[in-house]
Amino acid sequence: MKNFLQTNLSGLRQKLRALRAKKDGIAAMEFALIAPVMIGIYLGVTETVMLIEANRKVSKTAAVMADLITQLEVADVEDITNVMTAGVLISGVSRQNRRNLTIDIRSFSFNPNNGRARWVGFTRLGRGLRTERLIPRNVDPSLVEDNSGIVAATVNFDYEPVTFRFVDSITLSDQFFFKPRLSEGVLFENPERNNPIVITCFIRSTLAVQCG
């Protein structure tokens, strides 16, 4: 009787070990199937959060650029340099992706000869806009009045995914229109150029802004 019980208990223990090993194998297989999906979801959520944050910085940069410029009556090279420096700091660009940022500010006033907008000033940091050019004839006439012009600030940023390197860059863009506060239009002055209302800027490797 004792031998019979020992034999059956031994067989039961072996079956339990086999069952445990089988469950461990199933669990390992389930983990191997689920882990890539969970990691992909985690990376996707992380990338989405960073993209939303970058887009928020683009919008904030455009709003601040328009706000700062419209507080001036005349903007010279030094003024534009200070404004662009503020924009670079707000955008949060690094040395590696500084060339992905474009800031475009255009000032218009009312042209009584045709009732439409006319150039008062133009400044750009970076490679230039990829969207349709904002020129006087494309400005909505309702935005300019006999005694009040308009300032348009546009910011573009080519966002490069951090985790999904195989995905092409995504161009984030926003544009704000502000009314000048001290004059009919914000005049740009650049005595060093043939066209005194045009000021171009770029970002150095140190993230310092140079305009001229």
Of 36, 125, 44, 49, residue with least CA distance to 80: 125
pLDDT in single tens digits along all 212 residues of the chain: 444 434 544 554 665 455 455 555 566 666 667 777 787 888 888 888 999 999 999 999 999 999 999 999 888 999 999 999 999 999 999 999 999 999 999 888 887 777 777 778 888 898 765 445 667 667 777 777 777 788 989 999 999 988 777 778 889 999 998 988 888 778 888 766 656 678 889 999 899 999 88
Query: Which pLDDT score is estimated for 91?
Result: 93
| Alpha carbons 173 and 54: distance in angstroms, whole number | 10
Whole-structure pTM value: 0.76
Place of tokens 């059956």: 8
Element (H, E) at 199: strand 198-203
Query: Which pLDDT score is estimated for 80?
Result: 93
| Alpha carbons 150 and 142: distance in angstroms, whole number | 10
